[in-house]
Structure 1
Amino acid sequence: MNSYQLLQTALRALNKHKLRSLLTTLGIIVGVVSIIAVMSIGEGAKYRVKKEIEGLGTNFIIVLGGTPKRLMAQRGGSGNLTLKEKDYQAILNECEYVAMASPGLQNSLKAVYEGKNWQCMVGGVNEKYLEIRKWDLVSGIFFDKHAIKSGKKVAVIGQTIKKELFGTVDPIDKTIRIKKVPFKIIGILGERGKTPDGRDEDDIIMVPLKTMQKKLMGIKTQKYGAIIISAKEKDKMNQTSSEIKSILRQQHNLATNEDDDFTVFTQDDISQASDAASAVLNLLLLVIASISLIVGGIGIMNIMLVTVTERTKEIGIRMAIGATTSAILKQFVLEAVIICMLGGFCGIIGGITIAKIVGHALGWPIFISIKSILVSLASSIIIGLFFGFYPAKKASKLNVVEALIEQ
Structure 2
Amino acid sequence: MIYIQLIFESFRFALQALKSNLLRTILSLLGVTVGIFAIIAVFTIIDSLERNIRQSMAFLGDKVIYVQKFPWSFGPNYPWWKYVNRPVPGIRDYRFLQRNLEMQRGVAIFDGKGGVTLKNQNNSLEGGNVWGVSYDYNIITEMKIVNGRYFTGQEADAARDVTIIGNNIAESLFPNQDPIGKTLKIKGLRFSVVGVIEKQGNSILGGPDMDNTCFVPYGVFSKMYTTKWSQPVIAIKGLENDEGLIELESEITGLMRSIRGLKPAQEDNFALNRPEMAGNAITSVFGVLTVAGGVISIFSILVGGFGIANIMFVSVKERTNIIGIQKSLGAKNYFILFQFLFEAVFLCLFGGGVGILIVYLLTFIPLGSLEIILSFKNILIGLILASIIGIISGIVPAFVASRLDPVIAIRSK
Task: With the length of structure 1 as denominator, give the TM-score of the two structures.
Answer: 0.70
Q: What is the CA-CA distance between 1:383 and the residue it aligns to? A: 0.8
Q: What is the CA-CA distance between 1:147 and the residue it aligns to? A: 7.1
User: 1:64 pairs with 57, 61, 68, which one?
Assistant: 68
User: 1:102 pairs with 86, 104, 108, which one?
Assistant: 108
Between the aligned partners of 1:134 and 1:83, the Cα distance in structure 2 is 23
The answer to whether residue 96 in structure 2 is matched with residue 90 in structure 1 is yes
Letter in 2 for 1:208: P
The answer to whether residue 15 in structure 2 is matched with residue 11 in structure 1 is yes
Between the aligned partners of 1:165 and 1:42, the Cα distance in structure 2 is 38
Give a deviation string over 1:292-316, Cα, whole Å, max 9, x none: 4552342242354256458745436
User: 1:315 pairs with 313, 317, 320, which one?
Assistant: 320
User: 2:148 pairs with 139, 143, 149, which one?
Assistant: 139
Letter in 2 for 1:117: L
For the 8 Å contact 2:10–2:336, the answer to whether it is kept is: no
Q: What is the CA-CA distance between 1:19 and the residue it aligns to? A: 3.1
The answer to whether residue 307 in structure 2 is matched with residue 302 in structure 1 is yes
Give a deviation string over 1:23-73, Cα, whole Å, max 9, x none: 43244345556549956994997599589859948x644322212239997
Stretches of structure 2 that go unaligned for 5 or more consecutive residues are 1-5
The answer to whether residue 339 in structure 2 is matched with residue 340 in structure 1 is no
1:2-401 equivalences in 2 (<5 Å)? 6-30=10-34, 32=36, 35=40, 38=43, 42=47, 53=58, 56=61, 60-69=64-73, 82-98=88-104, 100-113=106-119, 114=122, 116-130=124-138, 133-135=141-143, 137=145, 138-139=147-148, 142=151, 154-171=162-179, 172-178=181-187, 181-191=188-198, 193=200, 199=207, 200-219=209-228, 224-231=231-238, 233-236=239-242, 237-254=245-262, 259-265=267-273, 269-270=274-275, 273-274=278-279, 277-278=282-283, 281=286, 284-285=289-290, 288=293, 291-292=296-297, 294-305=299-310, 308-309=313-314, 312=317, 314-315=319-320, 318=323, 331-347=339-355, 357=364, 369=376, 373-390=379-396
Between the aligned partners of 1:196 and 1:306, the Cα distance in structure 2 is 45
Q: What is the CA-CA distance between 1:375 and the residue it aligns to? A: 3.9
Letter in 1 for 2:345: V
Between the aligned partners of 1:9 and 1:248, the Cα distance in structure 2 is 77
Stretches of structure 1 that go unaligned for 5 or more consecutive residues are none
Give a deviation string over 1:235-282, Cα, whole Å, max 9, x none: 2443122211222133334455655443334xxx53585377357536
Letter in 2 for 1:305: N
What is the DSSP-based 3-state SS (H/G/I as helix, E as strand, rest coil) of the residue aligned with 1:234?
Answer: coil
Q: How many residues align?
A: 391
What is the DSSP-based 3-state SS (H/G/I as helix, E as strand, rest coil) of the residue aligned with 1:187?
Answer: strand
Between the aligned partners of 1:321 and 1:335, the Cα distance in structure 2 is 17
1:15 and 1:56, CA in 2 relative to 1: closer, same or farther beyond 3 A? same
Between the aligned partners of 1:319 and 1:16, the Cα distance in structure 2 is 19
Q: CA RMSD in A?
A: 5.1
What is the DSSP-based 3-state SS (H/G/I as helix, E as strand, rest coil) of the residue aligned with 1:193?
Answer: coil
Letter in 2 for 1:205: C
What percent identity do the matched residue pairs reach? 22
What is the DSSP-based 3-state SS (H/G/I as helix, E as strand, rest coil) of the residue aligned with 1:299?
Answer: helix
Q: What is the CA-CA distance between 1:91 and the residue it aligns to? A: 0.9
